[in-house]
Amino acid sequence: MTAIKPLGAFYHEVWNVGVVHQEATDIVARGLVEPVHWLSPPPEWTFLADPSCRVHEDGGLTLYAEKMDYWIGRGEIWSTYSPPGADPALARFSPLLEAGVHLSYPFPFIDDEGRSCMTAESWEAGAAWLWQEQGSVWSLTSKIFDGRPVVDPTLWRGDDRWWLFCTFQDDGPNEKLHLFHAPRVSGPWTPHRCNPIVSNNGSARPGGPLFWADGTLVRPSQDCSCTYGGALMLNAVTRLDSDLYSEKPIRRIEPLAPYSSGLHTFCPAGKWTLIDGKRWQFHLSEPARKVLLRSWRRLLAACGQARLVCD
């Protein structure tokens, strides 16, 4: 069973990234049967979560994750490169993207022109931003979705169009999954006629990229029924078109010790699979930290520096 948040104001979440030496398709078929190799614990007052991956032609991996510093109160996107044959569990992340708003859930992909792109959760900006890799630099270029606080934007390239799965911070972010489609990543995005396509806190919120497993399209999702990111569901997509959407649960993945209070991301990474895990950390100074952070945010807002706007 998923552990529930401890009572009291002296706790905060600590997430970390784990590497499973088992392919995602095998986990769909047999469950998670290999041990999880956790990265070195993040420094105190920080965490690492939402792992994603780009698999290169030579077998090398570029890993991405959210890095959160509790004293700043705002996530950034960090990355690392794992050479062919190396163990991703030995990876050491470094900064990649930061902004004047919270960033999480990095989602790398290749667009129709063959460019390396990335979106991420940036709901505080009221949009989903798009970065493009230009040489060795990632540049913020545009928005793929504007006018709503998009949560966990998850793209899928179908046969004739792009699909965007997401929830919204202002409308049940843990329980209402919305779907959009467009001819290009740049849009325009058309809402699915059945929105919200999933309406429950046990499997709505995205939990990683969609992937094929033995002819089945699988959508990872979060189980937030007991606690945020409490466990992960793997769902078989049984119909995906402009008229209807349907899916059915095929496997539940419970959190694992020592991060036994949550698991909310699942990402194929070649012959490995990336997950994350949550535990609760006790600190006597936690209430004071929250007060100081709220004061700092009010000061930034008064100075007009609370958010970075992409025009």
Please check whether residue 17 lies inside any domain of the structure.
Answer: no
User: Looking at the whole model, is its pTM more than 0.85?
Assistant: yes
85 within a domain of the structure (yes/no)? yes
How far is Cα 149 from Cα 102, in angstroms, rounded to an integer?
12
Report if residue 30 sits inside a domain: no
The 10s digit of each residue's pLDDT in 84-102 is: 999 999 989 999 999 989 9
Q: How many domains does the chain have?
A: 1
pLDDT value of residue 304: 57
Q: How many whole angstroms separate alpha carbon 280 and alpha carbon 289?
A: 16
Residue 309 has pLDDT above 50, yes or no: no
Quick: pLDDT tens for 230-275: 999 999 999 999 999 999 999 999 999 999 999 999 999 999 999 9
Q: Which has the higher per-residue pLDDT, 135 or 145?
A: 145
Q: Tell me, what CATH number does 237's domain have?
A: 2.115.10.20
Rounded CA separation 11/293 (Å):
15
User: Is pLDDT of 306 > 70?
Assistant: no
At residue 207, what is the residue type? G
Q: What is the pLDDT at residue 8? A: 67
Between CA 80 and CA 164 the distance in angstroms is 26
Quick check: is 3 in a domain? Answer: no
> Is residue 221 within 8 Å of residue 207, measured between CB atoms?
yes
**What digits encode the pLDDT tens for the residues 5-57?**
665 688 899 999 999 999 999 999 999 999 999 999 999 999 999 999 999 99
25 within some domain: no
Mapped onto helix, strand or coil, the DSSP state of residue 289 is: helix
Q: Residue 308: which pLDDT band, with cuts at 50, 70 and 90?
A: very low
Average confidence (pLDDT) over 46-74: 95
Q: How confident is the model at residue 311 (pLDDT cuts 50, 70, 90)?
A: very low
Tell whether 141 is covered by a domain.
Answer: yes
* Residue carrying structure tokens 């100075």: 303
Average confidence (pLDDT) over 148-159: 97
Q: Domain range for residue 75?
A: 46-302
Residues 269 and 104: their CA atoms lie apart, in Å, by 19
Q: Please enumerate in sequence order all residues whose Cβ is within 8 A of that of 253, keeping only pairs 6 or more positions apart, or say none.
A: 27, 31, 32, 231, 232, 233, 234, 263, 266, 275
Has residue 9 been placed in a domain? no
- Per-residue pLDDT at 310: 36
Query: Taking all residues of the chain, what is their mean pLDDT, rounded to a whole number?
Result: 92
> Is 172 a residue whose pLDDT tops 90?
yes
Mean pLDDT, rounded, for 176-183: 98
Quick check: 119 and 153 in contact, CB under 8 A?
A: yes
What is the structure's pLDDT at 297?
A: 72
Q: Is residue 135 part of a domain?
A: yes
Element (H, E) at 47: strand 46-55
Q: Check whether 114 has a pLDDT greater than 50.
A: yes
Query: Could you tell me which residue, 22 or 302, shows the higher pLDDT?
Result: 22
